[in-house]
Amino acid sequence: MCGAMSVSGTETVTINAPLADVLAIVRDIDNQPSWFPGNLSAEVLETDADGLPTKAHMVNDVKVAKDDFELAYTNTDNSIAWSLVAPSKAQKAQEGSWTLVDKGGATEATMALTIDSALPLPGFMQKKVLKDTLNGATKALKAHAEK
C-alpha cells in the first residue's frame, strides 16, 4: 500500500450510456490519450485470455513533470483496477480503479485513486493534482461516452 505521503480520493459521475459501453471505454487503454486528460500515450503490453489489458505502458503529463510508467490491471465484470508496477520519476506508488454501476440505461462511474508522489510537493499541491485528475477524468469519460 501507499506510504504516509500518499493522497486518495474518489469522484463519481452519472453517464447517459449503457454500462457495457462505458466499460469498453475504460478498458480500451490504447485509446485513453484521446479522452483522458494528461495522458500523452498508452500502450497495452499484455492481455489476459479474454483480450483484456493486464499491463500497459503510460506517459502522462502531470503538470509538474512528464511521467513514464507501467500499470498492472485487474478486470471484473463491472470494474478495472490498476497499480503501479514500479516507482517512476513522479510517483512511488499508484492504485486506482473505475467501478461502474448499472442505473438502467445510464451508468454510475466512480474513479478511485491513491497516489504516493515521488516529487517534493506540499500536501495541498498533491491533493489539488489528485482532485484535478479525478474531476478531469470523470468529466472526460462522461463527455466521451455520451458523444
Give the domain CATH number at 101: 3.30.530.20
Total structural domains in the chain? 1
Of the candidates 91, 68, 96, the one whose C-alpha atom is nearest the C-alpha of residue 80 is 96
1 found inside a domain: no
Length of the chain: 147
Name the pTM for this structure.
Answer: 0.94
Distance CA 45, CA 83 (A): 15
Mean pLDDT lowest for which of 1-5, 23-27, 130-134? 1-5
Residues linked to residue 112 through DSSP beta bridges, in sequence order: 10, 97
Distance CA 135, CA 13 (A): 9
pLDDT for 2 beyond 70? no
Confidence of residue 121 (pLDDT cuts 50, 70, 90): confident
Confidence of residue 65 (pLDDT cuts 50, 70, 90): confident
8 A C-beta contact, residue 90 and residue 67:
yes
Q: Residues with Cβ < 8 Å from 28, sequence gap 6 or more?
A: none
8 A C-beta contact, residue 96 and residue 82:
yes
pLDDT tens, position by position, 12-45: 999 999 999 999 999 999 999 999 999 999 999 9
32 found inside a domain: yes
Structural domain for 29, as ranges: 6-146
